[in-house]
Amino acid sequence: MRAYTPKDNVQAKSYYTDRFWVAPQVAKSAVSDDEVFAADLEAIKAKFDVLDAYIQVEQMIVIINANDNYAVLELLKNECEYTQLSEMSAIDWLDQEGKFEIFYQMLSMTKRKRVRIKCKIDEKEAIQSVEKLFRCADWSEREMYDMFGVVVNNHPFMKRILMPEDWEGFPLRKTYPLQGDEFAAWYEVDKIFGKEAREIIGPENRDPARIDRYDTKRFSRLGHEVPFGTDISQGEPDTPLVYQEQEGVFMIDKFDAQKSVVISDRHR
Amino acid sequence: MQQSNRLRPFFENITFDRVDNEMILNFGPQHPSAHGQLRLMLHMQQEQITKAHPDIGYLHRGMEKMAENMIYNEFMPTTDRMDYIASSSNNYGFALAVEKLIGLEVPRRAKVIRMLLLEVNRLMSHLFWLATTALDIGAMTVFLYAFREREYLMDLVEDYCGARLTHAAIRIGGVPLDLPDNFMADLRKFLDKLPENIKDYEDLLDKNRVWLMRMENVGVISKEMALSWGCSGIMLRASGVKWDIRKEEPYELYDEVEFNVPVSDKGDNYARYKLYMAEMRESAKILYQVADMYEGTSPELMAHAPQYISAPKLDIMTQNYALMQHFVLVTQGMRPPVGEVYIPTESPKGELGYYINSQGGPYPYRLKLRAPSFWHTGILTDLLPGHYIPDVVSIIGTTNIVFGEVDR
């Protein structure tokens, strides 16, 4: 029987974990410990549902409903002085709960505080664009769509940004195989040479550590060199080894210490 | 397709889609002044740009995906390949993020060495910026001068870690090596000469007619635009926002050193150029102060946290348990606690942030690299319209984008 490989998460996994090992947690503290954050949280709570809020590593994390994302960011920008969106992206929790988590990393330069707004959406659900508030979200949301397939509503130019436009699959999902899928293996062959060349060229091998022992075009073996492109799969000619020393060792016969210069400093 | 034998102009790289005057010009992806693989689609009315559309992704290697499948220490050399002009600052950002996640305190000597490396990297990056931008605008001499100075700095880093470009000189929990004997003397020698060198560049450029034409009042970024586009570093400070993470949210020993944050409210290319020059002087100031801190620090280089960091070599070679822990840490990797951090640092290009979501496993569950150049490329969409073709090159130059970082 073939070994079962899970399809919902094909990423690298630790091959051994102690069965009694319990992962420690990064300390969380209550938002009320910090006056500035407490005031910001009050402002959000006055208008929106807050599912959870805490402080972790000096930053406040607020978890909200996904359909409030635009309004909450608007409130933070206009009333709480969080004028910059440093970063936003998604996290793939499809395996565990069938959802994407989207985070917005905000910065207030006047208060010197950073807040992370997080919300969860279903796999097929779309999220509202915040591009109207922060222009940088234009590119971030495109990247999020490109990498996870999270569709963003009201975005001015919802296209892939890093991958080619006709790419299939979303590379940062946990279901996306590490060496690329079937589509990835044929993409460049089809694109450059056409589908009819598939049989001649073969699928692209994306294993960076792959070495073909008989490949004399891309690999040379020191001391056993053969002419470029020779077929050595059926055995190879013996390469006679010749050492330079057989002709005599290169020696300095006349050395004049007066005429030579010793360099001691590289003139930094 | 035009007929090339009909005595009508034949342009290889230009397509005529419509009958009006609008022309779409394909700038790149192989353009020497794009400093990498940037493709710009420019809609032109005569020489003037009406719409710009940057196209990136030619250097995409999927670093975030790679990070999710590597143990933490394994990812360190990969970070070198982001901003390969100043790779230690990438190493440092990652190391700091993991240290915050674990809650490690780094020994003081390691902090001093890290500070030295960070500022040397900043100087290297700024010199490289000056050299290439000047070359793009036609000042070959400045290119040669600035590369000469950069070469001395690369020699310094080579003396420290053996590499010139991809340093991997910082470890999670400290630094791998102590400084070599001649390092401080060489550094001081370089720093003593640096003000003269910077003055040379400024003498060549400050009042240079060609330089001023391409720099003054070209590529003006307003304060609102810079904030909205998530600009950071010099792109932000040239637009009148005084925000330097080293000053505002100090990490390492930046709260113990004295330095100024140069700001300008002009927002144009020339303002950015002046800030780069001023920042080089500030970096030199920091380096002098940090070099004085080195004396008298205790010789530990790595934090003591047996659960996460391997013990010193002497312990590994003499104590059985340290060897066992080292074996587990190398083969399986450290397992930071469950939680998430976003740690920003001021890299030479701007705010370099690492978001790490750890689920307690040896691999990060999600790692997001916040590279400043990504948005500094995005801003070209709004910045280029209204400018002319020769300005494109100087604007790309002063945004100081590095494509290892844009595409990751």
CA dist B402 and B27 (Å) reads 17
Q: What confidence tier does B19 reach under pLDDT thresholds 50, 70, 90?
A: low
Which of A10, A11, A15, A57 is most worth mutating to test chain B (most B CB atoms within 10 A of its CB)?
Answer: A57
**Is the pLDDT at B22 greater than 80, yes or no?**
no
Averaged pLDDT for residues B233-249: 91
Residue B89: CB partners within 8 Å, gap ≥ 6? B83, B118, B121, B122, B125, B345, B347, B348, B352
Facing B341 at nearest CB: one of A14, A57, A162: A57
**Which of A83, A114, A162 is facing B60, going by the closest CB pair?**
A162
Residues 115 to 174 of A: which have CB under 8 A from any B CB?
116, 134-136, 138-139, 147, 160-164, 171-172
| Residue B1 confidence (pLDDT) | 46
B227 and A139 in contact by Cβ < 8 A?
no
Query: What pLDDT score was predicted for residue A202?
Result: 83
CB B404 within 8 A of CB B82: yes
Q: What is the mean pLDDT of residues B374-401?
A: 91
* Cβ–Cβ under 8 Å, residues B339 and A57: yes
Q: Which residues of B264-277 are buried (b: 16+ CB within 10 A; e: fewer)?
A: bebbbbbbbbbbbb
Among candidates A28, A91, A109 on the partner chain, residue whose Cβ is nearest the Cβ of B357: A91
Q: What is the pLDDT of residues A53-105, one digit of tens each?
A: 999 998 999 999 999 999 999 999 998 889 999 999 999 999 889 899 999 99
- The per-residue pLDDT for range B30-74, each reduced to its tens digit, is 777 777 788 888 888 888 899 999 999 888 988 999 999 999 999
Closest CA to B233 of B116, B86, B384, B399: B399
DSSP letter at B172 equals T
Residue A162 has pLDDT above 60, yes or no: yes
Q: Which residues contact B34 (CB under 8 A, 6 or more apart)?
A: B27, B28, B40, B396
Q: Are B336 and B75 in contact (CB under 8 A)?
A: no
Q: State whether A26 and B337 contact (CB < 8 Å).
A: yes
Q: How far is A64 from chain B (nearest CA, A)?
A: 17
More confident residue, B2 or B155: B155
Contacts of A118 (CB under 8 A, 6+ apart): A61, A62, A63, A64, A101, A102, A103, A104
Distance CA A5, CA B365 (A): 19
- Percent of chain B with pLDDT strictly greater than 90: 60
**A positions 208-237 inside 8 Å of B (CB):** none
Question: Most B CBs within 10 Å: which of A55, A63, A136, as the mutation test of the B interface?
Answer: A136
Assess contact for B358 and B337: CB atoms under 8 A: yes
Residue A4 clears pLDDT 80, i.e. is over it: no
* CA nearest to A131 within chain B: B228
ipTM: 0.85
Whether A268 and chain B come into contact, CB under 8 Å, resolves to: yes
From A151, A153, A110, select the one nearest A131 (Cα to Cα). A153
Mean pLDDT over A239-266 rounds to 76
pLDDT in the model for residue B237? 92
Test mutation, A11, A14, A25, A26, chain B, max B CBs within 10 A: A26
Residues 6+ apart with CB under 8 A from B371: B82, B83, B349, B352, B405, B406, B408
* Lowest pLDDT segment from A169-183, A199-213, B91-105, B254-268: A199-213
Residue A257's SS3 state is: coil
Angstroms from B102 CA to nearest CA on chain A: 7
Residue with the bigger pLDDT between B2 and A116: it is: A116
Q: How large is the average pLDDT for residues B340-365?
A: 93
pLDDT tier at A33, thresholds 50, 70, 90: confident
Tell me the chain B residues in contact with residue A14 when contact means C-beta distances shorter than 8 Å.
332-333, 361-363
Give tens-digit pLDDT for B284-294.
Answer: 999 999 999 99
B254 band by pLDDT with thresholds 50, 70 and 90: very high
What's the pLDDT score for residue A242? 74
Dmax (CA) of chain A? 92
CB contacts, 8 Å: B382 with chain A? 135
Question: What is the per-residue pLDDT for B2?
Answer: 47
| Distances B98 to A128, A202, B213, B364 between C-alpha atoms, Å | 32, 42, 46, 10
Among the residue ranges A6-10, A196-200, B203-207, B264-268, the one predicted with the least confidence is: A6-10
Is pLDDT above 90 for B372? yes
Q: Does A14 touch chain B (CB under 8 A)?
A: yes
Q: What is the pLDDT of residue A219?
A: 79
A-chain residues near B379 (CB < 8 A): 135
Interface touch B342/A87, C-beta < 8 Å: yes
Does position B172 have pLDDT exceeding 80, yes or no?
yes
Task: List, in order, residues 6 or more apart from B179 with CB less than 8 Å away.
Answer: B113, B116, B160, B294
Contact A87 B368 (CB under 8 A): yes
Distance CA B55, CA B47 (A): 21
CB pairs under 8 A between A and B: 129
Q: Rounded to a whole number, what is the distance in Å from the CA of A15 to chain B's nearest CA? A: 8
| Per-residue confidence (pLDDT) for residue B10, from 0 to 100 | 58
The confidence score (pLDDT) of residue B239 equals 92
Indicate if the pLDDT at residue A138 is higher than 80. yes
Q: Do B248 and A109 touch (CB under 8 A)?
A: yes
- Binary contact (B101, A163; C-beta < 8 A): no
Residues of A in contact with B180 (CB under 8 A): none
Residue B152 distance to chain A (closest CA, Å): 7
Return the pLDDT at B8: 54
From the CA of B407, how many Å to the nearest CA of chain A? 7
Q: What is the mean pLDDT of residues B160-172?
A: 91
Asked if A92 lies within 8 A of B368 by C-beta distance, the reply is no
Interface residue of A87, A101, A134, A170 to substitute, partner B, most B CBs within 10 Å: A87
Q: Quick one: pLDDT at residue A227?
A: 83
Interface test with A, best of B59, B69, B355 (most A CBs within 10 A): B355
How many residues comprise chain A? 268
Chain B within 8 Å of A109 (Cβ-Cβ)?
A: yes
The answer to whether residues B344 and B5 touch, using CB atoms and an 8 Å cutoff, is no
Instruction: Name the minimum distance, in Å, from the CA of B312 to any CA of chain A.
Output: 25
CB contact under 8 A, A136 and B100: no
> What mean pLDDT comes out for the span B123-152?
91
